[in-house]
Amino acid sequence: MKSLEELAQIRERMKNKVALREANGEIRIVVGMATCGIAAGARPVLNALVEQVAKQHLDNVTVTQTGCIGMCRLEPIVEVFMPNEERVTYVKMTPDKVPEVIEQHIKGGKPVVKYTIGAVEN
């Protein structure tokens, strides 16, 4: 069984990280997790996002969940909010598309246009 001791170590390490997080401009990734999103495959997408953000130590990125955005047929939907930028809405997301979005958009600042609602709807 994994020891609670390891959690105590995480707590120690975290003490130094809080200041760092606050210094950076926050990027928010929001995943729709209502019945429609979950049924369409939002859970593996969210898992992939959390995994990538954690693995790459993207300390200025938060991943949060929301309810039904109102476009159930386009789920899984992922919205990205960057400081001073317009919201970008990705639709019909899959775990495969996540690395590209992280690399190009979250780290590089350039939205992956082909996965956005504008491109998919037209």
Partner 1 sequence: MKELSLNILDIAQNSIKAQATLVGIELCETETTLLIRITDNGCGMEEAFLERVLDPFSTTRTTRKVGLGLPLLKLAAEQTGGSLSIRSIPKSRSENSGTTVEALFHKDHMDFTPLGDIISTIEILIQGNPDIDFAFTHTMPERTVSLDTRELRAVLGEEVPLNDFSVLAWIREALTEQYAS
Interface with partner 1 (CB under 8 A): 1-2, 4, 6-8, 10-11, 13-15, 18, 33-35, 38-39, 43-44, 46-47, 50, 53-54, 63-65, 67-68
> By C-beta, is 93 or 111 nearer to partner 1?
93
> By C-beta, is 63 or 69 nearer to partner 1?
63
Give, rounded to a whole angstrom, the gap between the first and last alpha carbons of the chain: 51
State how far the Cα of 80 lies from the Cα of 31, in Å rounded to an integer: 9
> By C-beta, is 46 or 88 nearer to partner 1?
46
| Alpha helix (H) residue ranges in the chain | 4-23, 35-40, 42-55, 98-100, 117-121
Q: Minimum Å distance from CB 1 to partner 1?
A: 7
> Positive or negative, the Cα torsion across 67, 50, 103, 62?
positive
Q: Minimum Å distance from CB 92 to partner 1?
A: 17
Q: Closest by alpha carbon to 77, among 94, 100, 60?
A: 94
Q: Minimum Å distance from CB 44 to partner 1?
A: 7
> By C-beta, is 56 or 116 nearer to partner 1?
56
Q: Minimum Å distance from CB 90 to partner 1?
A: 18
Q: Are 30 and 41 in contact (CB under 8 A)?
A: no
